[in-house]
Structure 1
Amino acid sequence: MTAHGFQRVDFLTTLRRVAEGLPDDTPTPFVLVTPAPGSSEEPDLGAWDLGGGSADASQLQEPAPEAVAGLRTDSGGTTGDGGDNSRDVLTVAFTTSGSTGMPKLAAHGEADTIHHMQSAAAQVGFRPGDLMVEPLPYSGVFGYVAGMVALFGGAGVLIQPVFEPEVLLRAWAAERGTHYVGGDDMLARLREVWASSREDLSSWRWTGIGDFQGMSEEIAAWAAAEFGTRSVGVYGSSEVFALTSFWTLDGDVEPRVGGGGHLVADDYAYRIADPATEEEMPDGERGELQLRGRNVVTSYLGDAGEGKKAFSDDGWFRTGDLAEAVDGQTYAYICRIGDVLRLKGFMVDPAEIEMHLATHPEVIIAKVVGRADAAGETEAVAFVVTTPGATVTSEGLQAYTKAELARYKVPSEVRIVEDMPTTAGTNGRKIRTVTLREWANEPVAEGAGS
């Protein structure tokens, strides 16, 4: 059984349940679908019929007991020793390699899923008539959660079978879309097309943005300047749901467009722990973000025990992400722990170097990885995509970092490349740091360029 099969059944089934269960004075949720590629129909196709023609929930068969690796014991799920304390039917699963690096399906129970959607919807704060624009695939956790959160908030959802920016922008303007959740890569493509089409997106009020390409700040600034849109950074994964936290606009903490934010439910908890000892870090120090609550994966399907490695001995989910505490329910995501560079004894977030390089007027995007030098110590190597016709050299960019950054943060080498290696996923395109590390260890002529 594929993850897509799970979500196809659950998404349509839950749509009907939402439509049937809302109070009489609540607007009926609806889904608008843009035309399939090659269609001559106008983009405003009207409401999806939630009452029929969709998949039968009976098609979702319960997995065999031996295929379920029991993990959670706090609310539903199964115990770690295989004993069953389930109060919740598994209803959705997302593909993930998670913090163990092994491919598997992260499954969540129905009651936990509904709890998360209701909690996140309350934090977003939808109004009557709102419309979520969500072109991400519903086989991925961000597309699925964003769409469901909107429906549980009484809003509609505009979806698209295949991402076509021109068609989506026309539908967005025609249907007066108010909300959007997605990565900065997809938003960058929409911005590029909008520069020519100039569709009226003045209805766009709120965006939850994933910083996949390091462009969140400039995308947020563009949306604010052109449409008055407020953008906030979001955090989530297949194991803990998308939108498990995001920066709120009306809280005591200044909202940010980086990952992290305020946990959407009071019964969700986090801690910042030493990844080696599991001990909680003192206030102000960075460590691994660990989560506990009903948002955390109930079971891994088709897993031979690897999933248990993602949990601490006392039951906290190890995200594999570096973060720092802001307050009791709010944290700031820094980067993946595997991306942290130890340079001259200092723990350095490569994003700090990347963001500085990106301020150069001839740099479009920068990515920094580590490699071992002749003495076996880690050194930083930067890969940069420059603007068309740029005259800046690798040496010039290295000098640019020396002028502002601490000496140990200056890349030992800067390579100018035509494009970043990327991989397409259900949540958007991501830069392949594994490939960049391979390039960093190859001679320039055989690798990424110079």
Structure 2
Amino acid sequence: MAPFTTIHRVFAEQAERRPGKALFELPDGRSVTYAETAETVRRIAARLLADGVTPGDRVAMQVEKSPEAVALYLATLRIGGVLLPLNTAYTAAETDYVIGDARPRVFVCSPERLPGHDHRGEGDELVVETLGVSGDGTLLGGGGGGPASGTLPGDGGHHSELHDAGPDDPASILYTSGTTGRPKGAVLTHGNLVSNCRALLDAWRYTADDRLIHALPIFHVHGLFVAVNMTLMAGASMYYLPGFDAGTVIDLLPEATVLMGVPTFYTRLLGEDRLTPESCASMRLFVSGSAPLLARDHQAFEARTGHAILERYGMTETGMNTTNPYDGGPRKPGTVGKPLPGVETRVTDRESGRALPDGETGIIEVRGPNVFAGYWQLPEKTASEFRADGFFVTGDLGHVDEDGYLSIVGRDKDLVISGGLNVYPKEIEQLLDVHPEVLESAVIGVPHPDFGETVVAVVVPAPGSAPRADALLDAVAGELARYKHPRAVRFVEALPRNVMGKVQKAELRRCYADLFVDAGAGSDAP
């Protein structure tokens, strides 16, 4: 068996092997090579060491997408730190909770966010640094008012050593949440990241010859631990976009080979007249995940381009679990394929844990080297999510067809995935329920042609009240990231309940399932 290696060590080897090759191709025409990225990694590593980061310390990152942000990720791993990527849409309250729970040694934010966070560096426990989209800020020794600005230490401000991490050592903590709304940190190890990346490189035939269109955010699994890690380990190149713009992606298709996206990408591309077989002639793979892709969009895309989108299934706690085949079998619309090499999946009865036969719907469980180490400082919660034989209980509902393909039909909990991002209903309900004109609320996800799912709030007004939908939305907007905002509010006299008093959200979802069926891509509430 080959000795274990890490993402940061493989990247260092690629930078020596391909120093002049472009890793990042940027919208302004600039390229950033492997060697230039490696230099930035060494500089940031020196800075983090000067800030007091030691192996096992957390480094929180809430910055806009840039090549330097990827360098910060690699630098953190290089010195044995644990990366804590934070959604850039988080409000101050959401960020405060995560920082308070994970207790990072360093918090890196965008320069424009510093006024809201400069108080954090007043004690000795946390150092605040800044990093901008152009490499500006204190992290690379520039200005910006951070507490650690000044001359970088060490050999010209470079750190050349590579931390020798083992497969069980933590590499990152990604915060996810349950229906209680309490975020919890999923601890991903170096072994998790490497094993999953190697399986995907093989499954999708991803090599140094690939040119990826990267239009995803880099604060979650899909954008960072799938798209970026695969590119780094393969020695490939990325057209590195700040976000998704259909016209820009169409422009890049003739020069690229792979696009990794969420269903929203494909619904918007289908709205472009320039999406043709000719524009996709150099493309070999379109990947979709993070939310369900409607079968009709899968079929429409293949009809327009000749390419069948490859759907896969993953989650924060496991990385990627299953994939439709690259070759050797059909890519079935509405399915997420078969387990990756080394990964086991099964569908079980939610009460007994008994494995169910193919065709029956139950809870999806996963076991393999991709499955996370546990929730940060929550041993009891971690234990409750695993079976005695090591299978992780995902909470997703699915079934396996006669060909062994997995289909996801829903979620045991009421998680909403909108545009590839997780929305937890309880968090929104708690804010609505304290409004003086609201008696109670239920937040659900319903199908949306652009976002896969979107958020709807069903509200029972307080006696004698007649609240306006826009007033309720304004009242909660400041506490929630934009993607969590309900796109429609519906008022009812009472919420449906079972004999035990539990709100029947399935009934609400059925009632409002067609709310956005005729809405065009990008539409807001009707």
TM-score range, shorter chain: 0.5 to 0.7
Indicate the residue corresponding to 2:260 in structure 1: 181
Q: Match for 1:381 among 505, 508, 511? A: 511
Q: What's the TM-score, normalizing by structure 2?
A: 0.53
Q: Does 1:155 align with 2:236?
A: yes
Q: CA shift at 1:328, angstroms?
A: 9.7
Aligned pairs for 1:200-239 (under 5 A) are: 200-210=279-289, 212=291, 215-239=293-317
Q: CA shift at 1:211, angstroms?
A: 6.8
Q: What's the TM-score, normalizing by structure 1?
A: 0.61
Counterpart residue type for residue 50 of structure 1: T
Residues 334/319 of structure 1: CA separation in 2 closer, same or farther (3 Å cut):
same
Residues 386/284 of structure 1: CA separation in 2 closer, same or farther (3 Å cut):
closer
Q: Match for 2:23 among 9, 28, 31? A: 31
Question: Which whole-Å CA distance do the structure 2 matches of 1:309 and 1:101 have between them?
Answer: 18
Question: Which whole-Å CA distance do the structure 1 matches of 2:168 and 2:357 have between them?
Answer: 36
Indicate the residue corresponding to 1:195 in structure 2: 273
Indicate the SS of the match to 2:191: helix
Residues 386/101 of structure 1: CA separation in 2 closer, same or farther (3 Å cut):
closer
Question: Which whole-Å CA distance do the structure 2 matches of 1:115 and 1:97 have between them?
Answer: 25
Identical-residue share of aligned pairs (%): 22
Residues 154/27 of structure 1: CA separation in 2 closer, same or farther (3 Å cut):
farther
When the two structures are aligned, how many residues end up with a matched partner? 331
Question: Which whole-Å CA distance do the structure 1 matches of 2:453 and 2:185 have between them?
Answer: 32
Indicate the residue corresponding to 1:255 in structure 2: 331
Indicate the SS of the match to 2:24: strand
Q: CA shift at 1:179, angstroms?
A: 1.1
Indicate the SS of the match to 2:38: coil
Indicate the residue corresponding to 1:18 in structure 2: 11
Q: CA shift at 1:372, angstroms?
A: 2.4
Residues 263/99 of structure 1: CA separation in 2 closer, same or farther (3 Å cut):
farther
Counterpart residue type for residue 381 of structure 1: C
Contact kept in structure 2, 1:232 and 1:258, CA below 8 Å: no
Q: Match for 1:116 among 183, 196, 220? A: 196
Q: Does 1:419 align with 2:524?
A: yes
Residues 120/329 of structure 1: CA separation in 2 closer, same or farther (3 Å cut):
farther
Question: Which whole-Å CA distance do the structure 2 matches of 1:115 and 1:233 have between them?
Answer: 20
* Cα deviation 1:391-422 (Å, max 9, x = unaligned): xxxxxxxxxxxxxxxxxxxxxxxxxxx735xx
Question: Which whole-Å CA distance do the structure 1 matches of 2:20 and 2:337 have between them?
Answer: 30
Q: Does 1:317 align with 2:310?
A: no
Question: Which whole-Å CA distance do the structure 2 matches of 1:257 and 1:22 have between them?
Answer: 39
Residues 364/93 of structure 1: CA separation in 2 closer, same or farther (3 Å cut):
closer
Indicate the SS of the match to 2:516: strand
Indicate the SS of the match to 1:384: coil
Indicate the residue corresponding to 2:496 in structure 1: 372
Q: CA shift at 1:215, angstroms?
A: 4.8
Residues 197/205 of structure 1: CA separation in 2 closer, same or farther (3 Å cut):
closer
* Cα deviation 1:318-365 (Å, max 9, x = unaligned): 10011113479752222212369xxxxxxxxxxxxx89x98xxxx998
Indicate the SS of the match to 1:311: coil
Q: CA shift at 1:29, angstroms?
A: 6.9
Indicate the residue corresponding to 1:134 in structure 2: 214
Indicate the residue corresponding to 2:38 in structure 1: 51
Q: Does 1:268 align with 2:343?
A: yes
Question: Which whole-Å CA distance do the structure 1 matches of 2:412 and 2:371 have between them?
Answer: 19
Question: Which whole-Å CA distance do the structure 1 matches of 2:289 and 2:307 have between them?
Answer: 16
Indicate the residue corresponding to 1:395 in structure 2: none
Residues 134/302 of structure 1: CA separation in 2 closer, same or farther (3 Å cut):
farther
Residues 152/244 of structure 1: CA separation in 2 closer, same or farther (3 Å cut):
farther
Residues 159/257 of structure 1: CA separation in 2 closer, same or farther (3 Å cut):
farther
Residues 168/388 of structure 1: CA separation in 2 closer, same or farther (3 Å cut):
closer
Indicate the SS of the match to 1:335: strand
Contact kept in structure 1, 2:321 and 2:366, CA below 8 Å: no
* Cα deviation 1:350-393 (Å, max 9, x = unaligned): xxxx89x98xxxx998989996279888643033225579xxxx
Q: Does 1:280 align with 2:349?
A: no
Contact kept in structure 2, 1:365 and 1:384, CA below 8 Å: no
Q: CA shift at 1:177, angstroms?
A: 1.3
- Structure 1 gaps, min length 5: 1-12, 36-40, 69-85, 341-353, 390-417, 421-448
Higher relative contact order (CA 8 A, sep 6+): 1
Contact kept in structure 2, 1:208 and 1:246, CA below 8 Å: no
Question: Which whole-Å CA distance do the structure 2 matches of 1:165 and 1:105 have between them?
Answer: 33
Q: CA shift at 1:187, angstroms?
A: 2.6
Contact kept in structure 2, 1:91 and 1:110, CA below 8 Å: yes
Question: Which whole-Å CA distance do the structure 2 matches of 1:143 and 1:182 have between them?
Answer: 9
Question: Which whole-Å CA distance do the structure 2 matches of 1:46 and 1:155 have between them?
Answer: 13
Aligned-residue Cα RMSD (Å) equals: 4.2
- Structure 2 gaps, min length 5: 1-5, 59-100, 103-165, 416-445, 459-494
Indicate the residue corresponding to 1:143 in structure 2: 223
Q: CA shift at 1:235, angstroms?
A: 0.4
Counterpart residue type for residue 333 of structure 2: V
* Cα deviation 1:73-106 (Å, max 9, x = unaligned): xxxxxxxxxxxxx852211222211587531221
* Cα deviation 1:13-68 (Å, max 9, x = unaligned): 946633515996x9987422433xxxxx33x635352321123285474159xx89
Indicate the residue corresponding to 1:438 in structure 2: none
Question: Which whole-Å CA distance do the structure 2 matches of 1:318 and 1:217 have between them?
Answer: 26
